[in-house]
Amino acid sequence: MKRTQNFNAELAPVAYAEALLALAEELGLLRTEVFAAARVRPEVLDSPNGRVSFLDFHMLAQAVLEHCGEPALGLLLGQRLNVSTHGILGYAVLSSANLGTALQFALKYYRVLGLAFDLELVEQGEDMELRAVESLPLGPQSRFAAEGLLASIHTIARFLLGEELQGVAVGFAHPAPDYSERYIEVFGVAAQFDQPYHWLRVPQHYLQRPMALANPATVQMCEQQCEALLASLDVQDGLLTRVRRLLLARPGDFPDLESAASALHTSGRTLRRHLAQMGTSYQQVLDEVRKRLALQYLTTTHLPLYEIAQLLGFSDPSNFRRAFRKWTGKLPGDYRSEERL
């Protein structure tokens, strides 16, 4: 029987923690201070398999965020998470024939890095859009993690191509922070905020660029190691991801907890317990999916608000308005008007 994802499963490469701690030192924090504030033992970095638990990394990151005085920590860290930091997956990307095959390989095996996101590559006219949605509840670190992810991907793409990227666009699910102008320094363009998900868009012509270090034999070796890592980590299809996919597949007809559990071949009690172990609940996951769909409907369709409310499972539009204000601090109509300015 598959184990479900949890905060103590060994997920994050030690290299991520090392990069975080090195950045913290540059910002004036001693390693000993970070470990003490996080209540994490320094020995976790000595893991023989080169990985730390998600919980330990989460606590280290929270300690740095609270004490470093740098609100844009995610952007700074993402720029440091280069090809070599990503281990075996990074070597495969570096050895790929072109950027397109590198992205496809990364999408197939990114779970070996323990990323708390589901990634998807979608064609958008002349562009390719990489979308990221949280697969683990990140809470206060949601913005930090999303910034780190997209900044790292952009940094690596720029390195692989050997030039500044033109025609890039980037969007984030979180509201605009006070330092939003610093996104321009990282991505070369102003970011869009309050999006249905995090995304990075690049022109498709970049995907055909050949790589200087292309090596099919290296890619094959890396693929074998990634397959073995996935099997050992057992993160191929976490319970939270399956719950989210189930809900997204049935908009407007969301199952209750017992029905969802039955569809996932488990009991309601077991589903409730496993979600609690991951720091969330069925209602929280449902609200997250409803919010994501609401933002998408409001920005990409002309559906009246009462129809959107019905599609989201609200029998009364006023209940939808209250829920949307709770999620975003805005009314649905105001949000739609602002997006179309």
- Structure tokens given for 330: 């805005």
Residues in CB range of 137: below 8 A, 6 or more apart? 240, 278, 279, 280, 284
Bridge partners of residue 199, in order along the sequence? 131, 171
**Residue 177 pLDDT greater than 90, yes or no:** yes
Are 170 and 201 in contact by the 8 Å Cβ rule? The answer is: yes
* DSSP label at residue 96: S
Q: Where on the phi/psi map is residue 288: left (φ > 0), alpha (ψ -120 to 50), or beta? A: alpha
SS (H, E, C) 243-271: HHHHHHCCCCCCCCHHHHHHHCCCCHHHH
**Whole-number pLDDT of residue 238:** 64
**Whole-number pLDDT of residue 273:** 87
Does the reported pTM lie above 0.85? no
**Whole-number pLDDT of residue 165:** 92
Neighbours of 188 (CB within 10 A): 15
Evaluated on CA atoms 127, 119, 57, 141, the torsion sign reads positive
For the segment 241-283, what is each residue's pLDDT rounded down to a tens digit?
Answer: 778 777 876 667 788 999 988 887 788 998 898 888 777 899 9
Band the pLDDT of 4: cuts 50, 70, 90: very low
**Residue 66 pLDDT greater than 70, yes or no:** yes
Range of lowest pLDDT (107-121, 212-226, 314-328): 107-121
Band the pLDDT of 50: cuts 50, 70, 90: confident
